[in-house]
Amino acid sequence: MEKQDCVEPIIDTFEERQSHMCIKGGGLSLPECDKPGIPGTVTQRTCVFGGARIVLMPITDSIHLVHGPIGCASCTWDIRGSKSSDSKLYKKGCSTDLKEKDIVFGGERKLYDSIIELHKLHNPGAIFVYATCVSGVIGDDINSVCKEAQNITGCRVIPVQSEGFQDHNKTKGHWIGCDALIDNVIGTSEPDQDSITPFDINIIGEFNVAGDLWGIKPLLEYLGLNIVSTVTGDSKIEDIAKSHRAKLNIVQCQKSSNYLAKKMKKKYGIPSIKVNFFGIESTITSITEIAEFFDDEEMKNRANNLIENGLKHLDNKLEEYRERLNGKTVALYVGGNKAWSLVRAFEELGMEVIMSGTKNGIKEDYENIKNIVKEGTLIVDDANSNELRKLLKKLKPDLLISGAKEKYIALKLGVGFCDFNHDRISAFAGFKGFLEFAKEVDGAVSTSVWNVVSTSIYDE
Amino acid sequence: MSVNVYKRDRQVIIDPLVTCMPLGAMWAVLGINHGVPLVQGSQGCSTFARYHLARHFREPIEIAVSSFHESTAVFGGKKNLNISLKTLIQRQDPELIGVITTCSSEIIGDDVYGFVDSNKQELKELGYDNTEIIPINTPSFAGSHFAGYDNAIDALIKNLATPNENIECDNNINIIPGLLNPGDVNEIKHMLDSMFVPYTMLTDISETFDSPLNPKKQKTPYFGKGGTTVNDIKNISASKGTISIAKYAKTGAETLKQTHKVPAVTDNLPPIGIKGTDKFLKTVNKLSGYDIIDTLMTERGLTLDLMADVSARYLAGRKVVIFGDPTLVTGLTSLVIELGMEVVMVTTGSEEKTFPTDIESISKNQSIDVFSEGDLKVVEDYVKDKDNGVELILGSSEARFINYDTGIPLVRFGFPVYDRVGYHSQPIVGYRGAKRVVEMVTNEVLAKYYEEKHWKLQQ
């Protein structure tokens, strides 16, 4: 595919967007990225507040209180399909509901009262207080309110300084969420001496969307690892508080959480390994690397067993999906991490990734994408809805992988769609998850609805 | 017996029933043919609303944003708006842009009216003068999504309705539907079409939020099918009258009455249930002069027939809780009472001054607990209190956990409904909508309260 064939008609009206799209090939340079979007476009991006919220929200025994007008809470509560094996408290949508009067006189009193009420009603593990654009602009000092409320209630009350307009990139919000944990939670409790083992680990950047964690956990436990905490999927605040004594951090979503792993390395000396449990090869590599890190013969044997059994389990069932999916094409338009970590998984299904793009990618993400995709793949940064539509029309992939906002853009164009975002309902991680993934992808691509869609009433 | 009004007994909102003003304004603007909302604020302000709307309607939702960042909060949003308008017109060539303010742009004191005015001149010089640009004030801290919708409709009328002696009037009436679903707007259109009444829907989301799939004809930029044209709105000054279905969306109708002497009917019951629909049709008849025809009376009769079939045996006396937008709650309360059921509690997330008195006027000899400015926690506590004996909940998908926890059936209606399909494309208004509500309610009651072994009860 020649660059001019593909890119130029897409961005015919805006020269400044040319540099945000490129084709992997001889003279490839990375797409320009991490720049503010053009005002006036229908962006697929979100805000810093949203970024912080999705990192912290999966902490199941905590209350997430949004200090702002009602919309910031009501459009985002329960936005992440993170599952819980116990408490459902994290699914509540709490807002201080700032009104005109509060904008003039300040909302600190209201915030304080709200925290006290929530503590009385729910006795949560922690109360996270999120700053929004509004509380930022009116200058409410949420730090001191949280401190005071914490003294009175004895409950952890944690400020999250996540004013929405802080940055064009919601990744900054992820970091702010991570900062709230490293500054206020991690290292604030000590584990029981009896519970400490040589194989204590934390899983960082796994949010248990659709129950992914539950696909990964049995694998790790079989290896003999002791999971101290998951940050933050299906977690409780006390477990995260004790996470500083782990021997290793394994990092699943590097986009949101490598930042935290680095900070934990600096503060507590915990090394980290980047892992990826999406796809067969990635799962095998992750298991092998963890076993190698601990350099324990027993664990290495178990790892081999695990891989052998996992593959045995997969082979027969996968063939049927592979037959149908072989040669089909995929476009990825996802968060930074998935834009490269999913590529192999599709290749393992016999599919070809012809486009990969992200909304909030940074240079490192695009380097990772470049390293993993084939020659001729289109790499796109921050495509808005118009561009996305034009790209789908031009490239005609059999499948788009993205989130809820993009879903209907694809379907209206007759392009199959599979959710790999917060709204997904099947767990895709590990060997079993890969089968689920294959099943869902096959459903999206091979559904007979597309046969009907392509017909006309005048057909024979 | 009457209503007992309670206030929420705490400061914090737990599980909100309302969302923000900009979302309501986006709803209104998206009902315009080739209309695009432009949000003057942070990316989250457009993205989360798009997500919310896309989940409910299962449609692409196109909302542009001027992408505020930290420097904007300091230096103001003039530059962002300037670039945004040029970008949007150059790329989408819309008929109309609704410039929707947000909390942050309002607090930093952006003068959107001034910005738009100065931009219009510049855009004209660039040759871009085909797009109407309408500023809409929607600071979320000043009201809920209903208020945002109301502000948007009012802004459209103020900016577009032009006095024009030459417009041929032809007994046209204007309808402000409020935040109704495509199925409801279509049902209102069906009633008006049956009577041959010409009308302008302000605005018409029936097709923009429910668009056909036809990949071969799919264009870029994307605009949903249908919608009210800018020209139609310009001509509304010559109409015979305006009916606002929702009380919270009456400001535009009042403006049109003051500025162009178009009669406004804003205090009717919504056309939900028999009485509400009767009143609506009589109002249409009075304003337009067109007769209510037999087809509609047949529909009325069919609905009454079903109501008589099921009311006494399955529904009478069953206790119902209703929450959601004030107009829908009022209308459904009326319908549920017509069915002989007992409404025990209602709430709406916003502070609508006349809401308790509206409920009181419908309540007859029932005693209803009305919570003003409630949230879902209020509903949850009420429903879970066994003394209240609640047997049925009418409300949005947000109550699904109450349904799972208690087993009390939830009939979904309003916004948002994202865990079932078909709810937005089918009506609850009009006689046919009432019939559908009766069917849904009765089926839920049958499924829950009548066991299979007692199958004869179901006849």
pLDDT digits (tens, 9 = 90+) for B297-320: 999 999 999 999 999 989 999 999
Mutate to test the interface with A, among B66, B84, B115, B141 (most CBs of A within 10 A): B141
pLDDT at position A26: 65
pLDDT band at B261 (very low <50, low <70, confident <90, very high): very high
Structure-token pair, residue A395: 């490239």
User: Which residue among B48, B91, B141 places its CB closest to the CB of A76?
Assistant: B48
Spatial separation of the C-alpha atoms in residues B55 and B64, rounded to whole Å: 18
Helix (H), strand (E) at residue A354: strand A352-358
The DSSP letter of residue B313 is I
Q: Omega of the bond prior to B221 within 30 degrees of 0, cis?
A: yes
Please, are residues B171 and B289 in contact by the beta-carbon 8 Å criterion? yes
Q: Please report which residue ranges of A233-362 form alpha helices under DSSP H.
A: 237-241, 254-268, 280-294, 297-325, 338-341, 343-348
- Whether the pLDDT of residue B459 is over 80: the answer is no
Look up the pTM and report it: 0.96
Among B40, B225, B55, which Cα is nearest to B138's?
Answer: B40
Beta carbons of B47 and A44 less than 8 Å apart: yes
For residue A188, is the peptide bond before it cis, meaning its omega torsion is within 30 degrees of 0? Answer: no
Determine which of A74, A104, A455 to mutate to test the interface with B (most B C-beta atoms within 10 Å): A74
What pLDDT was estimated at residue A460? 73
pLDDT digits (tens, 9 = 90+) for A359-400: 989 998 999 999 999 999 999 999 999 999 999 998 999 999
> How close B43 comes to chain A (CA, Å)?
5
Domain ranges of chain B: 4-14+310-457, 21-147+155-160, 173-288
- Report CB contact under 8 Å: B41, A69: no
What are the beta bridge partners of residue B369?
B4, B345
Least Cα distance to A204 among A232, A181, A182, A226 occurs for A232
Q: Is the distance from CB of A53 to CB of A132 less than 8 angstroms? A: no
The overall average pLDDT reported for chain A is 92
- For residue B203, pLDDT over 70 is answered with yes
Best B8, B9, B10, B11 member to test A by mutation, with max A CBs in 10 Å, is B11
Q: How are strands ordered across the β-sheet holding B199-201?
A: B199-201, B173-176, B241-244, B264-265
Say which residue the tokens 């009328």 belong to: B157
Element (H, E) at A400: strand A399-402
CATH code reported for the domain at B4-14+310-457:
3.40.50.1980
Q: Is the pLDDT of residue A229 over 70?
A: yes
Residues of A whose CB is below 8 A from B349:
70
**What residues pair up with B174 in beta bridges, in sequence order?**
B200, B242
Determine the Cα–Cα distance for residues A200 and A432; give it in Å rounded to an integer.
Answer: 24
The predicted complex's ipTM stands at 0.94
Residue B20 and residue A165: Cβ atoms within 8 Å? no
Strands (E), A16-103: 21-23, 62-67, 94-95
Does B21 lie at the interface with A, CB-CB under 8 angstroms? yes
Structural domains of chain A, with CATH: 1-32+326-424 (3.40.50.1980), 48-185 (3.40.50.1980), 193-307 (3.40.50.1980)
Give the pLDDT of residue B455: 61
Give the residue among B384, B260, B273 at the shortest CA–CA distance from B337: B273
Sheet strand arrangement including B392-395? B3-7, B368-372, B342-347, B319-323, B392-395, B410-412
Provide, as residue numbers in chain B, all residues whose Cβ is less than 8 Å from the Cβ of A92: 14-15
Scan residues 142-161 of B and list those with Cβ closer than 8 Å to A: 142, 144-145
Q: B62 in contact with A at a CB cutoff of 8 Å?
A: yes
Contacts of B80 in chain A (CB under 8 A): 39
Nearest Cα to B54, choosing from A406, A415, A210, A74? A406
Residue B132 bridge partners (DSSP): B96
**Residues of chain A contacting residue B66, judged by C-beta atoms under 8 Å apart:** 39-40
Topology annotation, domain B173-288: Rossmann fold (3.40.50)
pLDDT band at A454 (very low <50, low <70, confident <90, very high): confident
Instruction: Give the length of chain B.
Output: 459
Residue A346, judged by CB atoms within 10 A of its CB (0-12, 13-18, 19+), counts as: buried
pLDDT at residue B456 greater than cutoff 70: no
What SS3 class is residue A230? strand
In the β-sheet with A126-131, what is the strand arrangement from edge to edge?
A156-160, A126-131, A62-67, A94-95, B13-14
Do residue A39 and residue B87 have CB atoms under 8 angstroms apart? yes
| Topology annotation, domain B21-147+155-160 | Rossmann fold (3.40.50)
Which pLDDT belongs to residue A78?
A: 85
